[in-house]
Chain A
Amino acid sequence: MIGEEEKIKEYEIKENPLVDVAAYLFLEDIADKQGAAGMNNYLISLATSLAKSMPEEEYKTWDDFVESLERGESIISTFESVTAKTKHCMVTQKCPFERGWKEYTKRIGDFARVHKEVADYYNSTVKPGANDTQCIICQTFRAAAAERITVAKKRLKYAQVAAVAPDGSKKIAPDEWKPILLEKAGMSETDLNMTLRNNACVWILY
Chain B
Amino acid sequence: MLDVALVSLIQDMSEKAGVEGTIQYWERVGESLAMRMGKEAYMGWPSFNVALREGRTAYSIEGDVTPLTDLAITDVDGDVVGYIYALKTCVFEPTMQRVRYSVGDIPRADAAVAEEYNNSVRDTAICNFCVIHQKFREEVAKNITIADQPLECVQLADRGFKGETKIARDSLKRIGINPEYVRSLLRNYACVFAILMKGARLRGEEEVEE
Chain A residues proximal to chain B, CB less than 8 Å:
11-26, 28-29, 45-47, 49-50, 53-55, 75, 78-80, 96-97, 100, 103, 107-109, 134, 137-138, 141
Instruction: Contact check, A12 vs B6: say whether CB atoms are below 8 A apart.
Output: no
Instruction: Contact check, B102 vs A15: say whether CB atoms are below 8 A apart.
Output: no
A-B pairs, 7 with minimum CB distance: A79-B1, A16-B91, A23-B2, A50-B5, A19-B3, A50-B8, A96-B1
Contact flags (1/0) for B92-111 with A, using CB distance below 8 Å? Answer: 11110110011110000000
Chain B residues proximal to chain A, CB less than 8 Å:
1-6, 8-9, 12, 25, 28-30, 32-33, 36-37, 58, 61-63, 89, 91-95, 97-98, 101-104, 129, 132-133, 136
Closest to B133 in A: A18
5 A–B contacts, CB within 8 A, in A order: A16-B62, A16-B92, A22-B33, A22-B136, A46-B6
Set of chain B residues within 8 Å of A11, measured between Cβ atoms: 94, 97
Instruction: Contact check, B95 vs A19: say whether CB atoms are below 8 A apart.
Output: yes
Set of chain B residues within 8 Å of A75, measured between Cβ atoms: 102
Instruction: Contact check, B102 vs A141: say whether CB atoms are below 8 A apart.
Output: no
Instruction: Contact check, A29 vs B25: say whether CB atoms are below 8 A apart.
Output: yes
Which single member of A14, A19, A20, A109 contacts B129 (CB below 8 Å)?
A19
Instruction: Contact check, A16 vs B63: say whether CB atoms are below 8 A apart.
Output: yes
Closest Cβ–Cβ distance, residue A95 to chain B (whole Å): 10
Q: DSSP majority for the B interface?
A: helix
Set of chain A residues within 8 Å of B30, measured between Cβ atoms: 22
Known A20-B2, A79-B4, A97-B1: A12·B94 in contact at CB below 8 Å:
yes
Closest to B3 in A: A19
Which of B28, B103, B129 gathers the greatest number of chain A CB atoms within 10 Å? Answer: B103
Bound Cα distance A3, B6 (Å): 30
Closest Cβ–Cβ distance, residue A12 to chain B (whole Å): 5
Instruction: Contact check, A50 vs B103: say whether CB atoms are below 8 A apart.
Output: yes
Set of chain B residues within 8 Å of A103, measured between Cβ atoms: 61
Set of chain A residues within 8 Å of B104, measured between Cβ atoms: 53, 55
Instruction: Contact check, A12 vs B103: say whether CB atoms are below 8 A apart.
Output: no
Set of chain B residues within 8 Å of A137, measured between Cβ atoms: 1-2, 5
Instruction: Contact check, B103 vs A53: say whether CB atoms are below 8 A apart.
Output: yes
Known A21-B61, A25-B29: A78·B102 in contact at CB below 8 Å:
yes
Instruction: Contact check, B1 vs A108: say whether CB atoms are below 8 A apart.
Output: no
Which single member of A13, A108, A138 contacts B36 (CB below 8 Å)?
A108
Set of chain A residues within 8 Å of B91, measured between Cβ atoms: 16, 18-19
Which single member of A20, A26, A79, A141 contacts B25 (CB below 8 Å)?
A26
Instruction: Contact check, A22 vs B132: say whether CB atoms are below 8 A apart.
Output: yes
Bound Cα distance A35, B103 (Å): 30
Closest Cβ–Cβ distance, residue A190 to chain B (whole Å): 31
Set of chain A residues within 8 Å of B94, measured between Cβ atoms: 11-12, 14-16, 19
Which of A13, A16, A109 gathers the greatest number of chain B CB atoms within 10 Å? Answer: A16
Instruction: Contact check, A107 vs B9: say whether CB atoms are below 8 A apart.
Output: no
Which single member of B25, B95, B101, B102 contacts A16 (CB below 8 Å)?
B95
Set of chain B residues within 8 Å of A20, measured between Cβ atoms: 2-3
Set of chain B residues within 8 Å of A55, measured between Cβ atoms: 104
Bound Cα distance A109, B30 (Å): 17
Bound Cα distance A20, B5 (Å): 11
Instruction: Contact check, B2 vs A54: say whether CB atoms are below 8 A apart.
Output: no
Closest Cβ–Cβ distance, residue B63 to chain A (whole Å): 6
Set of chain A residues within 8 Å of B1, measured between Cβ atoms: 79-80, 96-97, 137-138, 141
Set of chain A residues within 8 Å of B4, measured between Cβ atoms: 50, 79
Closest Cβ–Cβ distance, residue B172 to chain A (whole Å): 25
Closest to B132 in A: A22
Closest Cβ–Cβ distance, residue B31 to chain A (whole Å): 9
